[in-house]
A and B are shown apart, each in its own frame.
Chain A
Amino acid sequence: EAQVTQNPRYLITVTGKKLTVTCSQNMNHEYMSWYRQDPGLGLRQIYYSMNVEVTDKGDVPEGYKVSRKEKRNFPLILESPSPNQTSLYFCASSLLTEGEAFFGQGTRLTVV
């Protein structure tokens, strides 16, 4: 089954404790991205990657890191999480020239 898999689905952590949210897709998509979604603000892009070893900042990259060492994986790293990073996070992938995005099920992160 074609899918994008995020883990964990739910995470509560403390300020400053490094965490990684994993994202994996099995559709051989070149393009992957991370979004956060907050009430009233819609989807805001954090980082994106157009292919292996190619990553770029989105609209709200501060406080986040990503890597793309393999085509299928695109982890999101919070080196020192803060309460303002409490949000619902989505990973998405697509074929570069088609635009249709496939989303993971989301990760609800709470930083206390």
Chain B
Amino acid sequence: RKEVEQDPGPFNVPEGATVAFNCTYSNSASQSFFWYRQDCRKEPKLLMSVYSSGNEDGRFTAQLNRASQYISLLIRDSKLSDSATYLCAQTDSNYQLIWGAGTKLIIKP
């Protein structure tokens, strides 16, 4: 089993809709969790860190569920510019980043 798993998608979503992704992980000793955004053929960029209490940044909300070992990303009022691949990542006990393979999101007008 992969350490970090994501649904690869693509998720085709109409503009303005709310979309949510989950990312499951197997290493319960994980220290930190992140969501990254990657545009086609570009480098990944940090979207949000994920805290135990959950955190929100504008239209984006990230949550961590340690009991069920998953993190989630919710995007409200989706925009065409939200089209990208979303990567989740976690650090292990040695601070190494473990990556999911990414979920592709396509927002349609």
Assess the A40–B34 pair: CB atoms within 8 A. no
Assess the A40–B45 pair: CB atoms within 8 A. no
Chain B residues closer than 8 Å to A90, beta-carbon distance: 43-44
Assess the A101–B41 pair: CB atoms within 8 A. no
Assess the A99–B32 pair: CB atoms within 8 A. yes
Assess the A99–B43 pair: CB atoms within 8 A. no
Q: Does A97 contact B (CB under 8 A)?
A: yes
Assess the B97–A106 pair: CB atoms within 8 A. no
> Interface with A: B14-22, B53-61, B71-79, B99-107, which one?
B99-107
Could you list some 27 contacts between A and B, CB below 8 A? A31-B95, A40-B8, A42-B87, A42-B101, A42-B102, A43-B44, A43-B87, A48-B96, A90-B43, A94-B97, A96-B95, A97-B95, A98-B32, A99-B31, A99-B89, A99-B91, A99-B97, A100-B46, A101-B89, A102-B46, A103-B43, A103-B45, A104-B43, A105-B42, A105-B43, A106-B41, A106-B43
Mask of A55-98 contacts with B, CB within 8 angstroms, 1/0: 00000000000000000000000000000000010100010111
